[in-house]
């Protein structure tokens, strides 16, 4: 590849990255609970760091080795996860001073999202067979993760449940819920 | 703010964006089912587009209005979601030719991930009260989403379930599973 072509590719990447960076700042989740969560952890590295942290990884070099992530990105993501309350930064060595990153209760409460992602990945992308999964500790039998209602234990993504406004819904959410309901009626 | 400062801020953003773009390409999920999923939908816009699409949004201008996303980003993400099999692109108008984006079974199977994200957001970020949620259609009672094992109906992120290797696990996964097990023993 000629130097000119290389430069052009670099420039394209730079342009795409710049536009994305400028646009990323514009994301406004409004009242959407999914959006508000993704504001904090809506990128691959943050989610992979959380996966690692929940499995017991805690030190910078361990994260780096496990994920193959560049140090500058890792530093930035760890700081953001601390800021958002998912990780707690704590010194584990005095000379030289070194910190580890421990999961908080907030991060533990996020585990079901990663479990749902794992289940989806195992259903669709485990082309060579299952490499890792959650199993019942007592029996070793593989779990089949499903999202249900705690009270009724019915799957939420079936026909028994619908998307609805809550008591604090503002006009944007109310309009969206009405649109979803119209769509549901039109399809049925 | 002086022009000089503005320029410097732009340059910083550009530098960060460039480094991130270059580094992003290095992500290798290995055999991790979470990572393989995030390779396809591991960013805020893709996940928000999927949320919208699963609620019935299908046209370019509807996505744009709903998300406030820049057209170039939306075009890129829609194409990627089509490529990954989450959306199907279909003409809905001949002159001028216009396409809509419809969810596939793969996208429908992804809904539990978004439900888990919604539940997390409602638990932690609904500072003004719940704005939107899943409710039981028959009764209107709010669902409390929880990830359980389909067979035993026990919550997977409790003590009854552990992370384990599957039959196709390679050396990296086996080492990770062993590490997680050592960590579990050290803590108990």
Under the banding of pLDDT at 50, 70 and 90, the label for residue B2 is very low
Instruction: Name the A residues in 47-66 with CB < 8 Å from any B CB.
Output: 47-48, 51, 55-56, 66
Nearest CA in chain A to B163: A134
pLDDT at A37 over 90: yes
Please check whether residue B160 is in contact with residue A138, taking contact to mean a CB–CB distance below 8 angstroms.
yes
The pLDDT assigned to B186 comes to: 86
| 3-state DSSP assignment of residue B124 | helix
Mean pLDDT of the residues in chain A: 90
| 3-state DSSP assignment of residue B166 | coil
The nearest CA of chain B is from the CA of A97 a distance in Å of 23
User: Mind listing the pLDDT tens digit for each residue in A100-131?
Assistant: 999 999 999 999 999 999 999 999 999 999 99
Going by the DSSP 8-state scheme, the letter that residue B141 receives in this structure is P
The pLDDT assigned to B1 comes to: 42
User: Mind listing the pLDDT tens digit for each residue in B14-23?
Assistant: 766 666 666 5
Domain boundaries, chain B: 31-124, 148-188
Distance from C-alpha of A60 to C-alpha of A52, rounded to nearest angstrom: 11
The pLDDT assigned to B94 comes to: 92
Distance from C-alpha of B16 to C-alpha of B22, rounded to nearest angstrom: 10
The pLDDT assigned to A184 comes to: 86
Paired tokens of B131:
């704005």
User: Mind listing the pLDDT tens digit for each residue in A120-169?
Assistant: 999 999 999 999 999 999 999 999 999 999 999 999 998 899 999 999 99
Mean of the pLDDT values across residues B151-168?
94
The pLDDT assigned to B188 comes to: 76
pLDDT at A16 over 80: no
pLDDT at B3 over 80: no
pLDDT at A87 over 50: yes
Under the banding of pLDDT at 50, 70 and 90, the label for residue A187 is confident
The pLDDT assigned to B184 comes to: 86
Under the banding of pLDDT at 50, 70 and 90, the label for residue A1 is very low
Interface test mutation site (partner A, options B26, B148, B177, B188, max chain A beta carbons within 10 A): B148
Q: For the CA atoms of chain A, what is the radius of gyration?
A: 21
Q: Report ipTM for this prediction.
A: 0.88
Mean pLDDT of the residues in chain B: 90
User: Mind listing the pLDDT tens digit for each residue in B84-137?
Assistant: 999 999 999 999 999 999 999 999 999 999 999 999 999 999 999 999 999 999
Distance of CA B87 to the CA centre of its chain: 14
Are the beta carbons of A173 and B42 separated by less than 8 Å?
Answer: no
CATH class of the A32-124 domain in this structure: mainly alpha
The pLDDT assigned to B66 comes to: 92
A132 contacts chain B (CB < 8 A) = yes
A95 contacts chain B (CB < 8 A) = no
pLDDT at B8 over 90: no
The pLDDT assigned to A2 comes to: 44
Nearest CA in chain B to A41: B44
**Angle between the A33-41 and B105-124 helix axes, to the nearest 10 degrees?**
90
B31-124 architecture in CATH?
A: Orthogonal Bundle (1.10)
Which distant-in-sequence residues (6+ apart) come within 8 Å of B5 by Cβ?
Answer: none
Distance from C-alpha of A64 to C-alpha of B150, rounded to nearest angstrom: 35
pLDDT at B9 over 80: no
Are the beta carbons of B113 and A117 separated by less than 8 Å?
Answer: yes
The pLDDT assigned to A24 comes to: 56
Are the beta carbons of A167 and B114 separated by less than 8 Å?
Answer: no
Are the beta carbons of B125 and A37 separated by less than 8 Å?
Answer: yes
Q: List the helix and strand counts (H, then E) for chain B.
A: 7, 5
Distance from C-alpha of A132 to C-alpha of B168, rounded to nearest angstrom: 8
The pLDDT assigned to B24 comes to: 56
Under the banding of pLDDT at 50, 70 and 90, the label for residue A19 is low
């Amino acid at each position: 590849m000629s130097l000119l072509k290389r430069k052009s590719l670099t420039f394209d990447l730079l342009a795409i990255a710049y536009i994305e960076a400028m646009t990323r700042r514009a994301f406004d989740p409004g009242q959407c609970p999914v959006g508000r969560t993704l504001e904090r952890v809506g990128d691959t590295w943050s989610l992979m760091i959380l996966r690692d942290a929940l499995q017991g990884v805690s030190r910078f070099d361990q994260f780096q080795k496990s994920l193959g992530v560049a140090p500058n990105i890792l530093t930035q993501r760890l700081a953001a996860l601390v800021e958002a309350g998912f990780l707690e930064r704590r010194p584990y060595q005095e000379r030289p001073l070194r910190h580890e990153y421990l999961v908080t209760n907030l991060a533990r409460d996020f585990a079901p999202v990663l479990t749902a992602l794992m289940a989806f990945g195992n259903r669709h992308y485990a082309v060579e067979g299952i490499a890792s999964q959650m199993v019942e500790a007592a029996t070793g039998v593989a779990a089949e993760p499903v999202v249900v209602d705690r009270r009724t234990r019915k799957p939420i993504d079936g026909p028994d449940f619908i998307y609805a406004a809550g008591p604090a819904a503002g006009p944007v959410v109310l309009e969206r819920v009405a649109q979803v309901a119209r769509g549901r009626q039109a399809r049925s």
